[in-house]
Amino acid sequence: MAMWNALSPDDNNARNRLLVHECWHAKQQSVGIMPVMTQNTHLDQEEGNILMRLELMALSRALQAVDLQEIKSYTTDALLLRHYRQALFPNNNENEFERHEGMAEYTGYRLCGMCDLEIRKQLVTDLETYAGKTALANSFAYITGPAYGFTLDRLTTGWIGKVRTGEALPGIAAETSGLTYPPDTLALHVAVSGIVEKYNAGVFVAATKEAFKEEMLETGACYRYDRHYFRI
């Protein structure tokens, strides 16, 4: 079922994408992908949000890259940021929610009628929009799923079969990119700090922290941070 007012009246590709997305949900359990609700409130809090938005930046660069090694390099950056975030917030179901909504959206894009180049351009535009959001817990998978999916399409073949057997997109991408994760949280932190420097993202990190600080003052909210609090 799709809400009538959610269907674009003048964009056939967007309409097709939504309808295919919802049709995929009707069939997903038959291929072993169970529906789940997001349990990722950390993505709406300062630390988790910063790390997710940095991951979106890395995925955007991977989609825009032409050279195979550059694609792998930016994909590796995205994976390191996710691995670090998930180490800080272990009670998450990011990967499971990504399989549920992300693969639906990937399939919608794949079958909507656009060519790969058009899709990658649209995803880059959408990634820029998502990278400006301070609330991502319920929506991140709609962009990370197709972003990883179309990146994997450029790096390997047969990866969808691995999703059907239960593997998560980051695991498949790490294997495809030849990534070996640093052995501990400290080493991961060093790697993440290097990515922030590589992307000249220090100003972004500082601005996001200030925005969350102001929001907390306005709402009276108080977040309990993990002892590995992200500091640059």
Question: Residue length, the chain?
Answer: 232
pLDDT in tens, the chain (232 residues): 788 888 888 899 999 999 999 999 999 999 999 999 999 999 999 999 999 999 999 999 999 999 999 999 999 999 999 999 999 999 999 999 999 999 999 999 999 999 999 999 999 999 999 999 999 999 999 999 999 999 999 999 999 999 999 999 999 999 999 999 999 989 999 999 999 999 999 999 999 999 888 877 766 655 444 444 444 4
* SS3 per residue for 132-171: CCCCCCCCCHHHHHHHHHHHHHHHCCCHHHHHHCCCCHHH
How far apart are the C-alpha atoms of 127 and 124, rounded to whole Å?
5
How far apart are the C-alpha atoms of 103 and 24, rounded to whole Å?
9
This prediction's pTM: 0.91
Quickly tell me which residue has 């100003």 as its tokens.
Answer: 203
